[in-house]
Amino acid sequence: MLGIAEYFWRLIPANPILLRVVQMNGKRRRDLFIRCIYLGLLIAVVIFAIATGNNEVGNLADLAKTSAGLFQYLSYFQLGLVALLAPVFTAGAITQERDSQTYDILLATPLTNGQIVLGSLLSRLFFVIALLVSGIPIFSITQIFGGVAISSIVQAFGIAAATAFVTGAIAMAIAVFKVGSRRTIFSFYLFVVAYVVGLYFLDQIPYFKISTLNPNTNTYELSKTSWFTGLQPFLALRTIFHDKAYIPPALGDLPKNLQSWPIGSLLSNPAGFYTGFMFFLSFVLISPSMVFLRRLAQSNTSLRTWIFQKLRIGRGDRTRKPRTVWQNPIAWREAKTKGSASRATLLRYAFIGLGLAGAVVLVWMFATLEKPEFPHYIDRSSLSADGNLLTVYDSAGGAPVTLKLLPDTQYTLNGKQVKDINSLSGHLMVQMSPQSVQKDEAGNETGWLSINASDTPRRLSMEDTRTALLALTMLEFAVILLIVTNAAASTVTREKEDGTLDLLLTTPITSRYYIWGKLRGLVSFALPLVAVPVASVAIFIAYDIYRSTILEWHNGDFKWIVFPEAVIVLPAMLIIFVAFAAILGMQMSLRSRKTVVAVMSSVGIVAGLCAGLGWCGMQFLGIRDSGYVGLSAASFSPFSLLMMMINPWSYAKNAFSDPDTSGPRLVIFIFTIIAVAAYTVVVWSMYRSMVKNFDMTIRRQSR
């Protein structure tokens, strides 16, 4: 299996750049070791899928079902590795040649622009494509029992290859047009993660679904997929598994104005559209690079400088006020200088501004009521103090109607009968009719015979609001973790590479002073970013308090969008987990010689821990009889904690099936504090270990 990739690449016409990388990858033990690990992980996925699948296999249909589940596990795992590795291996592209001062020598050779660009691109993609090709024999296992079409396997590999090629093409364009540097590696990787996660959550919102014609009922209904399915690799991959809950609409079921190409292909065949579109986008991005490579290389003007010149924008003379340095200058340097560059400052404030603006927009959309079907409504002020009188208001300007609630008054909410007035909650529409009121012999209205209430439609429903807020906060925290991990993983290695660490070691600075300063500075740098998801949650809590005390009908059955205790547990959990990611990145940065190795290993470990903790927490929450055990286990993961604080009725519905939520909320609060204490002990232990082994590690690497 390991030799298939090398044989495949021998079929490509000779290119000095490509052949050099192929030969180096074939000889380096590290690459062989990584490929063995990759294949070992695929085999582990196979064993896990078989062990957790249907153990009662009685016929060929059960075997085919097991094989289909195995193929699904393998496909997701393979695409996840490609999405993780492709940006790391391709983002350096030409910038690493420029940093090592071999770029000018490369341009002086007789190689054409196309050979340089394509050779650099394919050399970056060689390792990723070699992993894909070496996994073909393992995927062939799914053909033993059937249940998986060969076309589905081809589509899965096509989606993975298209993802790798488009990331490489984007990286090449960034490098050639001089809009990136060594920092581009992480920025590009961050963009890929934000793109994948952001489109995934947008796909869950019904607003972006397509209204299609159901041929069985001849009625229009929302499709299972959305506009973003054919633009996100994992969503496009899901459509090839024939999942009944995620089948794209047929081309003929789409509205007439959406059946034309390419929109029709995007909506009806997301997997095929994604593969074709990404390969086409790769060609579009590579073509200008092949045309303008040497012209841009001979110019000392970057794309940004050229734009500024055309717009007649100059930097001019700039002065900067003296800044006050902290008592620990290393901590001050880590906290202040990482965001001092103009680009970093712009990105930082853009992250904060967009995050807060997104929360405000969600609150506004939830608070905005659509035009009600009925003009009559009840709200918080409708019920009298003694609970005997109920006032129904008229939004059309009519006079309100105040009548007694009778012992035999019937109450309905959204067409379902409820037992009493206390079962109604919210700003509700009321359908008035002559049969709704009781009249005496003189024709005077004396009481309510029935209250037919229904929810007032909102621009964004409560469930969609929770989904969108959860997506926003999880995406923000994922970006924060990537930023902190990257900064921590490069904080020591870059000082090794530029020689400043040797200068620091000649000063009276001790290892304790140095490491504590790094950790404190990184956490201080991340605090304004952590404040964004916390502030987003706080905005909704403030609106919930306003909604429960002033706006809406509330008789003890009020549902929070976000539990109010989140303003206490979320900052504690997010900050300590950021500190954990920072100390882990520092540990790898201290042990590694190169920044790229430290960043890759740190991001991989943090991502693996987050995925593992989140998966374990969700598995515990999904167990029907887990009770408070599932809540306590899920409290140790920041992402599952966000789920339980924002949308527990979807992700922890077994524990929150009772209307009284005080018990589960108390368990979450207590075990989150315990988890914060546990992470604090882990961070302190890792800090003490780094201080103890600092000198020995530095001496060992200096040999």
**What is the reported pLDDT for 655?**
76
Give the count of domains, the chain: 3
Give the mean pLDDT of 200-215.
76
- Going by pLDDT thresholds of 50, 70 and 90, the confidence category of residue 685 is very high
Q: Yes or no: say if 416 and 422 are a contact pair by the CB < 8 Å rule.
A: no
* Within-domain flag for 323: no
- Indicate whether 571 pLDDT > 90: yes
* Within-domain flag for 630: yes
**What is the reported pLDDT for 683?**
93
- Going by pLDDT thresholds of 50, 70 and 90, the confidence category of residue 320 is low
- Check residues 423 and 58 and name the one with the higher pLDDT: 423
- Taking only the tens place, the pLDDT of each residue in 466-476 is 888 888 898 88
Closest CA to 447 of 388, 403, 412: 403
Give the alpha-carbon dihedral of 516, 571, 197, 459, to 10 degrees. Answer: -160
> Which segment of 76-85, 219-228, 373-382, 462-471 scores lowest on mean pLDDT?
373-382
- Indicate whether 50 pLDDT > 60: yes
Q: Read out DSSP for 295-328?
A: HHHT----HHHHHHHHTT-----------PPPSS
- Going by pLDDT thresholds of 50, 70 and 90, the confidence category of residue 703 is low
- Check residues 102 and 677 and name the one with the higher pLDDT: 677
Buried b (16+ CB within 10 A) or exposed e, 667-681: bbbebbeebbeebee
φ, ψ at 412 (rounded to 5°): -130, 145
Single residue among 431, 455, 479 that ends a domain in this structure: 455
- Taking only the tens place, the pLDDT of each residue in 495-507 is 777 777 777 777 7
Give the alpha-carbon dihedral of 337, 339, 340, 346, to 10 degrees. Answer: 180
Most confident of 2-6, 212-216, 268-272, 381-385: 268-272
Q: Yes or no: say if 645 and 570 are a contact pair by the CB < 8 Å rule.
A: yes
- Taking only the tens place, the pLDDT of each residue in 546-562 is 887 766 655 556 778 88
Provide the pairing of β-strand 219-226 with 401-413: unpaired
**What is the reported pLDDT for 4?**
44
Most confident of 57-61, 113-117, 340-344: 113-117
Looking at the structure, do residues 492 and 633 belong to the same domain, yes or no?
Answer: yes
Provide the pairing of β-strand 445-455 with 401-413: parallel
Looking at the structure, do residues 347 and 419 belong to the same domain, yes or no?
Answer: no
**What is the reported pLDDT for 678?**
93
- Indicate whether 54 pLDDT > 70: no
- Going by pLDDT thresholds of 50, 70 and 90, the confidence category of residue 583 is very high
538 three-state secondary structure: helix
Looking at the structure, do residues 97 and 224 belong to the same domain, yes or no?
Answer: yes
Most confident of 7-16, 108-117, 464-473: 464-473
Give the mean pLDDT of 236-265.
83
CA 80 to chain centre: 13
CA 199 to chain centre: 8
Give the mean pLDDT of 158-185.
73
CB within 8 Å of 77: residues ≥ 6 apart: 41, 42, 45
* Within-domain flag for 370: no
* Within-domain flag for 307: no
Single residue among 257, 280, 303 that ends a domain in this structure: 280
Looking at the structure, do residues 630 and 492 belong to the same domain, yes or no?
Answer: yes
- Going by pLDDT thresholds of 50, 70 and 90, the confidence category of residue 580 is very high
Closest CA to 468 of 218, 78, 677, 207: 207
Q: Yes or no: say if 543 and 562 are a contact pair by the CB < 8 Å rule.
A: no
> Which segment of 216-230, 568-582, 670-684 scores lowest on mean pLDDT?
216-230
* Within-domain flag for 295: no
**What is the reported pLDDT for 296?**
65
Looking at the structure, do residues 119 and 265 belong to the same domain, yes or no?
Answer: yes
Give the mean pLDDT of 525-536.
90
**What is the reported pLDDT for 1?**
43
- Indicate whether 682 pLDDT > 70: yes
> Which segment of 239-253, 281-295, 318-332, 652-666 scores lowest on mean pLDDT?
318-332
**What is the reported pLDDT for 391?**
82
Looking at the structure, do residues 516 and 616 belong to the same domain, yes or no?
Answer: yes
Give the mean pLDDT of 227-237.
88
* Within-domain flag for 186: yes
- Indicate whether 304 pLDDT > 60: no
* Within-domain flag for 317: no
* Within-domain flag for 312: no
Give the mean pLDDT of 30-54.
70
Single residue among 455, 488, 516 that ends a domain in this structure: 455
- Read off the pTM: 0.69
**What is the reported pLDDT for 168?**
79
Q: How far apart (Å, rounded) are the C-alpha atoms in residues 620 and 52?
A: 15
Looking at the structure, do residues 440 and 525 belong to the same domain, yes or no?
Answer: no
**What is the reported pLDDT for 62?**
67
- Taking only the tens place, the pLDDT of each residue in 128-162 is 787 788 888 888 777 776 667 788 888 888 998 89
- Taking only the tens place, the pLDDT of each residue in 72-112 is 878 888 887 787 777 666 655 555 665 566 666 777 777 77
- Indicate whether 563 pLDDT > 70: yes
CB within 8 Å of 409: residues ≥ 6 apart: 421, 447, 448, 449, 450, 451
Give, as one character, the DSSP assignment of residue 466.
H
Q: How far apart (Å, rounded) are the C-alpha atoms in residues 246 and 261?
A: 22
- Indicate whether 177 pLDDT > 80: no
**What is the reported pLDDT for 2?**
42
205: tokens are 């919102």
pLDDT, averaged across the chain: 77
Looking at the structure, do residues 235 and 336 belong to the same domain, yes or no?
Answer: no
- Check residues 519 and 184 and name the one with the higher pLDDT: 519
Looking at the structure, do residues 255 and 136 belong to the same domain, yes or no?
Answer: yes
Peptide bond into 262 cis (omega under 30): yes
- Residue 692's domain comprises 329-364+461-701
Looking at the structure, do residues 171 and 92 belong to the same domain, yes or no?
Answer: yes
Looking at the structure, do residues 201 and 346 belong to the same domain, yes or no?
Answer: no
Provide the pairing of β-strand 209-214 with 428-430: unpaired
Looking at the structure, do residues 409 and 549 belong to the same domain, yes or no?
Answer: no
Residues of the chain above pLDDT 90, percent:
8
- Indicate whether 442 pLDDT > 90: no
Most confident of 15-19, 80-84, 521-525, 674-678: 674-678
- Check residues 300 and 280 and name the one with the higher pLDDT: 280
Angle at 524 between CA 520 and CA 526, to 5 degrees: 120
